[in-house]
């Protein structure tokens, strides 16, 4: 006959182990080792813990050792999250679309010494390789006034396979290229314009109208401007002309300038300098709900907010680019506008605030969408 303190003589212990299929016997002390009063108290507590028992019976192992998930078979096959982000701004529904990243070297920053640039970037932790600092390429789909307007269209394959994901991410966000009504291009550079064509050179958004600043259309057709462009960037002129041509042939190209009407709910905010016709767009979502999509006003976010006088080597007119940058930053700060930037870290949505007589970027917080939006 088993001793009174042997586990096999402990019916309460047996019942507890039987009720926990994944319990390890070495983790359950025999209840017979408890005095009678202790066993009665434990039995009462167990009887009153029906929910705990139900969880245990469902397979939750409350007494088991730590579980270890198996590593993925091929970690290299893991992908980043889809490249889109939604933001509601008043009556506007904005979807940021990630095209990819491009490296921009410190040597392309003009108006600062290398020592000043290093100091500005100290502890800013911008990802950087020998090719340059990681720079996002973003586009924005805005739902407003019953229309779908895309601001900029990314690179398609103009810059290789590392970019060109706008249409892919637009689809992942639940839209189709056929649904886009208007494409507002901030300027005629390939990382904003090439995506209006698909990989075969056909119009990628068949029901859309392409809106292009008239001054930029003239700029990319000007042989003198092409001749005097930095050598590494001469190719953008021919690329732009090639992309524009199918839209012009199809009668889907609209050139505009100051005073011309844009799609309903959108206002032109001229911001020349990076290119002669560089344009930003202000969307009106109601009281305290305006969105400024400003294209290439900023390329180096870790430098140009704090030092707006820093220019980009490719700026066609650096003095005008600086003036546009200062004016837009000041207005966005004063008015509390939302800002979307083509080369701000994805999703590139947020606000500008004043700091030390200059400015700082305040990125949007990741947020759930309001109910019904």
Q: Which pair of structure tokens corresponds to residue 217? A: 């259309």
Taking only the tens place, the pLDDT of each residue in 71-120 is 666 767 788 899 999 999 999 999 999 999 999 999 999 999 999 999 99
Q: Residue 245 CB: number of other CB atoms within 10 A?
A: 13
Question: Does the structure show a pLDDT above 80 at 64?
Answer: no
Question: Does the structure show a pLDDT above 70 at 247?
Answer: yes
Question: Does the structure show a pLDDT above 70 at 151?
Answer: yes
How high is the pLDDT of residue 3? 47
Q: Residue 25 CB: number of other CB atoms within 10 A?
A: 10
SS3 for 104?
A: strand
Question: Does the structure show a pLDDT above 90 at 230?
Answer: no
Within a 13 Å sphere around the CA of 293, how many CA atoms are in the beta-carbon half? 29
Contact 308, 359 (CB under 8 A): yes
Question: Does the structure show a pLDDT above 90 at 252?
Answer: yes
Taking only the tens place, the pLDDT of each residue in 116-139 is 999 999 999 999 999 999 999 999
User: Domain spanning 83-363 has what CATH number?
Assistant: 3.60.15.10
> Predicted confidence band at 287 (pLDDT cuts at 50, 70, 90)?
very high
C-alpha distances in Å from residue 312, one per residue of 152, 298, 333 = 20, 9, 22
Q: How far is it, in rounded angstroms, from Cα 246 to Cα 252? A: 9
Q: How far is it, in rounded angstroms, from Cα 225 to Cα 189? A: 14
SS3 for 355?
A: strand
Give the mean model confidence (pLDDT) for residues 187-212. Answer: 97
Using the structure block, give the residue that is written with the tokens 């490719």.
Answer: 314
E-strand ranges in the chain read 84-89, 92-104, 109-110, 128-129, 132-144, 147-151, 182-184, 209-213, 253-256, 266-270, 279-284, 290-293, 311-312, 338-340, 349-355, 358-363
How high is the pLDDT of residue 27? 42
Q: Where are the domains of the chain?
A: 1-78, 83-363
Q: What percent of the chain has pLDDT over 70?
A: 79
Q: What percent of the chain has pLDDT over 90?
A: 73
How high is the pLDDT of residue 20? 44
Q: Which pair of structure tokens corresponds to residue 185? A: 């291009």
Selection from 19, 143, 162, 168 nearest residue 102 by Cα: 162
Using the structure block, give the residue that is written with the tokens 């994805």.
Answer: 346
Taking only the tens place, the pLDDT of each residue in 160-179 is 888 999 999 999 999 999 99
How high is the pLDDT of residue 160? 83
Give the mean model confidence (pLDDT) for residues 29-33. Answer: 45
How high is the pLDDT of residue 77? 77
Taking only the tens place, the pLDDT of each residue in 325-356 is 999 999 999 999 999 999 999 999 999 999 99
Assess whether the previous peptide bond of 68 is cis (omega < 30° from 0): no
Q: How far is it, in rounded angstroms, from Cα 315 to Cα 322? A: 10
Question: Does the structure show a pLDDT above 60 at 47?
Answer: no
The residue with greater pLDDT, 243 or 26, is: 243
How high is the pLDDT of residue 79? 85
Provide the mean pLDDT of the chain.
86
Render 219-274 in DSSP notation, one character per residue. Answer: HHT-HHHHHHS-GGGTHHHHHHHHHHHHHHHTT-EEEE-TT---STTEEEEE-TTS
């Amino acid at each position: 006959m088993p001793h009174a303190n042997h586990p096999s003589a402990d019916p309460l212990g047996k019942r507890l182990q039987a009720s926990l299929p994944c319990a390890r016997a070495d983790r359950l002390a025999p209840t017979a080792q408890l005095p009678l009063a202790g066993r009665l108290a434990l039995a009462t507590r167990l009887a009153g813990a029906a929910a705990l028992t139900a969880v245990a019976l469902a397979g939750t192992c409350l007494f088991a050792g730590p579980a270890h998930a198996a590593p993925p078979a091929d970690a290299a096959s893991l992908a980043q999250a889809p490249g889109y982000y939604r933001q509601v701004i008043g009556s506007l529904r904005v979807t940021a679309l990630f095209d990819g990243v491009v490296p921009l070297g410190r040597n392309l920053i003009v108006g600062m010494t290398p020592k000043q640039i290093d100091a500005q970037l100290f502890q800013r932790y911008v990802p950087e390789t020998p090719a340059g600092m990681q720079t996002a390429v973003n586009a924005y789909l805005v739902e407003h006034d019953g229309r779908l307007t895309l601001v900029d269209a990314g690179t398609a394959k103009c810059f290789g396979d590392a970019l060109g994901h706008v249409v892919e991410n637009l689809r992942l966000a639940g839209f189709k290229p056929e649904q886009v009504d208007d494409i507002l291009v901030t300027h005629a550079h390939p990382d904003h314009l090439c995506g209006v064509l698909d990989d075969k050179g056909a119009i990628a958004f068949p029901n859309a109208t392409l809106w292009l600043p008239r001054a930029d259309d003239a700029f990319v057709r000007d042989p003198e401007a092409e001749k005097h462009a930095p050598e590494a960037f001469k190719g953008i002129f021919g690329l732009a002309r090639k992309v524009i041509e199918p839209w012009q042939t199809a009668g889907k190209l609209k050139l505009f300038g100051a005073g011309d009407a844009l799609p309903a709910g959108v206002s032109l905010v001229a911001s020349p300098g990076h290119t002669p016709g560089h344009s930003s767009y202000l969307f009106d979502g109601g009281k305290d709900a305006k969105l400024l999509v400003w294209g290439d006003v900023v390329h180096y976010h870790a430098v140009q907010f704090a030092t707006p006088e820093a220019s980009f080597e490719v700026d066609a007119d650096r003095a005008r680019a600086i003036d546009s940058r200062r004016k837009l930053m000041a207005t966005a700060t004063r008015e509390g506008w939302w800002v979307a930037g083509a080369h701000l870290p994805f999703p590139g949505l947020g606000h500008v605030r004043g700091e030390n007589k200059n400015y700082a970027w305040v990125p949007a917080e990741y947020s759930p969408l309001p109910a019904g939006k």
